[in-house]
């Protein structure tokens, strides 16, 4: 007769390329995995997994058992969620995906505070360069993104408005001057963020009177963490495009200055997406409410 932890163990195995990788994912040593699997196979008198190099190969029995196990685990999770909802409890896992910079500076603190208030909550934050890719990689409940994601059939709830601005440090401006027209940017050092699969070097600018132009820049520095780019801008590396949330206080105190202030870039609202295939649970709803409430508020620094 199976125990839930046995079923969980097996599904974790089936998601890993090797027993050693499964051990790392489970946070235990390889003998723990090896021995547990062997014990299970011995109890069942069945071979579940063929060991060898390359991807773990499930036997027919192993594949059948794991398929069935997933169904049972889904039922148990669903039941657990039901009972949690009936009690109005906020507990269990909360898987959040967010970009590097925004995730670290704005989402993580919210999760910390939310988690502090709910002892049984298990927050899991995944900072990714490519949040959309991460959606396909595994568990997620909430995805936070800077800018609406195109071509997705998932409702994107707006958490806060957010403009994208061109900025440079005051020091850079003193030493190199600033461009007065978009075309002059070509003579400047430009840095970009590689935050997702979007084309970071194509800037869509809207100028006075509504005229639009696409400007192809040639980045000479870049990073997949937007906050690194901000730091480089502060260090005088050059001109960068950043979200307003990221640079608003720098602009206020003059560390950074606007570049081409008469021209604007497309807004990049902060949005939250809920996994349509995930559970509907109170903790997720409450977390998103909290996120919206705190992110709409002006940043503290």
Partner DNA sequence: TCAAACATTAAGGCACAGCTTAATGCCGGC
Partner DNA sequence: GCCGGCATTAAGCTGTGCCTTAATGTTTGA
Binding residues for a second copy, rule: CB under 8 A, are: 1-5, 44-46, 61, 64-65, 68-69, 71-72, 75-77, 79-80, 82-84, 86-89, 92
Q: How far apart are CA 197 and CA 152, in angstroms?
A: 14
Answer with the entry of DNA, a second copy, none that 44 interacts with (C-beta below 5 to 8 A by kind). a second copy
The alpha-helical segments, DSSP class H, found in the chain are: 4-14, 19-26, 30-44, 60-87, 100-102, 108-117, 131-135, 170-176, 226-234, 244-253, 282-296
**Phi, psi angles (nearest 5°) of residue 94:** -135, 105
**Phi, psi angles (nearest 5°) of residue 68:** -65, -40
Collect all residues with Cβ–Cβ distance below 8 Å to 165 and sequence separation of at least 6.
241, 242, 243, 244, 247, 251, 258, 265
For the chain, give the number of residues: 301
Nearer to DNA, 34 or 224 (CB): 34
Could you tell me which stretch among 14-22, 127-135, 194-202, 285-293 binds DNA (CB under 7 A)? 14-22
Tell me if 220 contacts DNA by CB under 7 A. Answer: no
Tell me if 30 contacts DNA by CB under 7 A. Answer: yes
**Phi, psi angles (nearest 5°) of residue 286:** -65, -35
Answer with the entry of a second copy, DNA, none that 87 interacts with (C-beta below 5 to 8 A by kind). a second copy
Tell me if 19 contacts DNA by CB under 7 A. Answer: yes
Nearer to DNA, 35 or 293 (CB): 35
Tell me if 69 contacts DNA by CB under 7 A. Answer: no
Minimal distance in Å, beta carbon 65 to DNA?
17
Binding site for DNA (CB under 7 A): 3, 5, 18-21, 27-32, 34-38, 51, 53, 56
């Amino acid at each position: 007769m199976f125990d839930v932890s046995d079923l969980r163990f097996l599904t974790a195995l089936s998601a890993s390329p090797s027993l050693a990788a499964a051990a790392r994912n489970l946070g235990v040593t390889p003998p723990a995995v090896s021995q547990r699997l062997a014990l299970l196979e011995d109890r069942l008198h069945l071979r579940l997994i063929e060991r060898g190099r390359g991807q773990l190969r499930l036997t027919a029995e192993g594949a059948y058992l794991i398929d069935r196990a997933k169904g049972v685990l889904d039922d148990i999770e669903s039941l657990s969620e039901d009972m949690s909802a009936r009690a109005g409890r906020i507990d269990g896992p909360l898987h959040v995906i967010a970009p590097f910079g925004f995730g670290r500076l704005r989402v993580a603190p919210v999760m910390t505070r939310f988690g502090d208030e709910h002892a049984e909550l298990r927050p899991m934050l995944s900072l990714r360069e490519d949040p959309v890719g991460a959606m396909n990689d595994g568990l997620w409940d909430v995805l936070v993104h800077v800018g609406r994601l195109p071509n997705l059939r998932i409702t994107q709830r707006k958490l806060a408005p957010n403009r994208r601005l061109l900025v440079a440090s005051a020091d850079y401006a003193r030493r190199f001057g600033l461009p007065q027209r978009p075309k002059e940017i070509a003579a400047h050092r430009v840095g970009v963020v590689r935050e997702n699969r979007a084309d970071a070097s194509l800037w869509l600018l809207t100028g006075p009177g509504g005229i639009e132009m696409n400007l192809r820049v040639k980045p000479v520095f870049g990073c997949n963490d937007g906050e690194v780019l901000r730091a480089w801008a502060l260090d005088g590396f050059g001109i960068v495009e950043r979200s307003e949330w990221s640079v608003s206080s720098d602009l206020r105190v003059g560390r950074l200055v606007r570049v081409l202030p008469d021209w604007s870039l497309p807004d990049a609202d902060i949005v939250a997406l809920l996994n349509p295939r995930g559970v509907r649970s109170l903790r997720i709803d409450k977390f998103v409410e909290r996120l919206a409430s705190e992110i709409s508020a002006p940043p503290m620094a």
